[in-house]
């Protein structure tokens, strides 16, 4: 007679079990196999990461500060020439 292994009750033992349950539940609700769900998730993550990296370059705090200083200096110049 085999005994069923019980997940440990510590958070470290419960987390993998919860991730597995969430993956299976999502795959079931989307009616797709788990490996396909996993691969799709990796693909979506890579796409989002690429977009964040490209946007991150334009939203770099130093670049934004330079643009803000450039705009404010233009506005001061225009106001002083009136």
Question: Helix, strand or coil for residue 69?
Answer: helix
Return phi, psi of residue 4, to 5°.
-80, 135
Band (68; pLDDT cuts 50, 70, 90) = confident
- When pLDDT is averaged across residues 32-58 and rounded to a whole number, the result is 88
* Predicted TM-score of the model (pTM): 0.49
The model's pLDDT over 6-42, given as tens digits with 9 standing for 90+, comes to 656 777 888 889 989 999 999 999 999 999 998 999 9
- When pLDDT is averaged across residues 54-81 and rounded to a whole number, the result is 75
* Predicted local confidence at residue 58, as pLDDT: 72
* Predicted local confidence at residue 82, as pLDDT: 62
User: Considering only CA atoms, which of 17, 41, 19, 16 is closest in space to residue 30?
Assistant: 41
Give Cα 51 distance to the centre of its chain: 10
- When pLDDT is averaged across residues 59-68 and rounded to a whole number, the result is 78
């Amino acid at each position: 007679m085999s005994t069923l292994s019980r997940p440990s009750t510590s958070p470290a033992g419960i987390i993998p079990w919860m991730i597995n349950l969430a993956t299976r539940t999502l795959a079931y609700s989307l009616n797709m196999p788990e490996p396909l769900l996993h691969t799709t998730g990796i693909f979506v993550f890579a796409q989002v990461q690429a977009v964040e990296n490209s946007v991150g370059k334009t939203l770099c705090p130093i670049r934004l500060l330079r643009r803000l200083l450039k705009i404010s200096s233009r506005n001061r110049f225009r106001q002083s020439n009136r």
